[in-house]
Amino acid sequence: MVVIRSVSAKSIFDSRKEKTIEVSIKTNVGEFKASAPNGKSKGKHEAKSYKKNLLGDIETLKKFSDYFSMENIDFFDDLKRIEDIVSGNVGANTLFALESAILKAMAKEKKKEVWEIVDSKARKFPRLVGNCIGGGKHSGNEKKPDFQEFLLIPNEKSTKENFELMKKIKEKVEQDLKEFDEKFKSIKNDEYAWETSLNEKEVLDVLLKYEIPLGLDIAASSFYSRKKYLYKNPMLKRDSGEQFRYISNLIENFDLFYIEDPFDEEDFEDFSKLTKKFANKLIVGDDLTVTNPERLEKAIKMKSINALIVKPNQIGNLTEVKTVCELAKKYGIKIIFSHRSGETNEDILADLTFGFQADFLKCGIAGKEREVKIKRLIEIEKDLAR
């Protein structure tokens, strides 16, 4: 049983040099820390990262520190009592970091791994989804693809092989971009994906020759305004019917395997039409569903998606993350656990992905903050193979 003796927090920098929260807890079995990442192309319906601001949440945790000591924490579902204590007083980043630190303490106390606290029977490994070329909000260059992420989704035998293959292709793509993009400067964006001045069709042409399943995070809400999708490269406006036809053409012409957020975050209807038309592709909700059980229920009712992004700090509350995963599994919706664009060296995402038996882990290809998570998954794989 874990007994929390005190809780404190401080601000640290994420990979984008923006501040985020790190929570430390002192317990009967030692001291544990965990931090939360930061999003940039956030969904409108995400929970707020902090109640008012980061410093406010740090102060609030200090005030609540003594309350936690009354709780004995033994199982994953005991986290609910922690949530009840702080509910409404701190934001999603703070709650996620606090609950993550508690999970680490529980694992230590039980001499188990963190994923075993979630589900000790977990055995299936997720496929990796890695961002190779970027555009949209995550890239700082002027001329760029309007879509946010061009994803590689290898399907080799192990996580290690999948990771190696993604890295190899990303290196080769650098040479391709040198050849086809005269403005290319080998610069990496927020998620360490290549920045390019090519547009989405030109990028897909580059990636097609690698004969690897490809995906897009269109992050369509980020360029949707007054009922139009506002493309800049090249400059043109598409209404929702035109967007539907354009996305359908891309899926067909480039045999895309995975399409995240192809429409605005309120447009459950167009998602539904696309899922119906392409039942054998992954039509993925991120800004649409924001790891929120109620939004997922609506998406299920309207048959809007067949796959779903889970970002624990979109909701903050790990018992709701569990509800979302259970709902998704019940309705045959594939689960993709995902990093955020501003990441920290926290690796608990790998344990959560495996513990919740997600189908995919979307976690970039490079940069130490992303590598720690993939390496942790490789470590779990190695331990289980022994």
The catalytic residues are 191, 311
Taking the least distance from each CB to ligand PEP, the nearer of 27 and 291 is: 291
The residues, any chain, with a CB within 8 Å of residue 122's CB and separated by 6 or more, are 115, 116, 354, 355, 356, 357
145 preceded by a cis bond (ω within 30 of 0):
no
CB of 265 to Mg ion, least distance (A): 10
Task: Name the residue whose CB lies closest to Mg ion.
Answer: 286
Burial of 229 (0-12, 13-18, 19+ CB in 10 A): buried
CB of 41 to ligand PEP, least distance (A): 4
The residue range among 224-232, 263-271, 321-329, 335-343 that interacts with ligand PEP, by the rule CB under 6 A, is 335-343
- Cα separation, 83 vs 100, in Å, equals 12
CB of 36 to ligand PEP, least distance (A): 12
CB of 39 to Mg ion, least distance (A): 9
Which residues ranging from 160 to 179 are in contact with ligand PEP (CB under 6 A)?
none
Which residues ranging from 263 to 302 are in contact with ligand PEP (CB under 6 A)?
286
Among 22, 176, 217, 346, binds Mg ion (CB under 5 A): 217
From the list Mg ion, ligand PEP, none, partner contacted by residue 39 (C-beta under 5 to 8 A by kind): ligand PEP
CB of 164 to Mg ion, least distance (A): 25
SS3 content of the chain, % helix, strand, coil (to 5): 45, 20, 35
Task: Name the residue whose CB lies closest to ligand PEP.
Answer: 39
Q: At what angle do helices 240-253 and 200-208 cross, to 10 degrees?
A: 20
Q: Does 338 bind ligand PEP (CB under 6 A)?
A: yes
The residue range among 25-33, 171-179, 264-272, 337-345 that interacts with ligand PEP, by the rule CB under 6 A, is 337-345
Burial of 211 (0-12, 13-18, 19+ CB in 10 A): exposed
Binding mask 5-44 for ligand PEP (x = CB under 6 A): ----------------------------------xxxx--
Size of the site for ligand PEP (CB under 6 A): 10
From the list Mg ion, ligand PEP, none, partner contacted by residue 281 (C-beta under 5 to 8 A by kind): none
- Cα separation, 98 vs 120, in Å, equals 22
Q: Does 195 bind Mg ion (CB under 5 A)?
A: no
The residues, any chain, with a CB within 8 Å of residue 228's CB and separated by 6 or more, are 237, 238, 239
- Cα separation, 98 vs 50, in Å, equals 13
Question: What is the DSSP annotation of 21-64?
Answer: EEEEEEETTEEEEEE--B-SS--TTSPPSSSS-HHHHHHHHHHH
Which residues ranging from 285 to 324 are in contact with Mg ion (CB under 5 A)?
286
Phi, psi at 109, each rounded to 5°: -65, -35
Paired with 230 in beta bridges are 237
Q: Does 219 bind ligand PEP (CB under 6 A)?
A: yes
CB atoms within 10 A of CB 33: 17
Tokens of 268: 């459950």
From the list ligand PEP, Mg ion, none, partner contacted by residue 265 (C-beta under 5 to 8 A by kind): none
Taking the least distance from each CB to ligand PEP, the nearer of 341 and 357 is: 341
The residue range among 75-83, 116-124, 160-168, 336-344 that interacts with ligand PEP, by the rule CB under 6 A, is 336-344
Q: Does 22 bind Mg ion (CB under 5 A)?
A: no
Taking the least distance from each CB to Mg ion, the nearer of 25 and 307 is: 307
Q: At what angle do helices 92-109 and 54-64 cross, to 10 degrees?
A: 40
The answer to whether 94 and 11 have CB atoms below 8 angstroms apart is no
The residues that touch Mg ion, with contacts defined as CB under 5 A, are: 217, 286
The residues that touch ligand PEP, with contacts defined as CB under 6 A, are: 39-42, 217, 219, 286, 338, 340-341
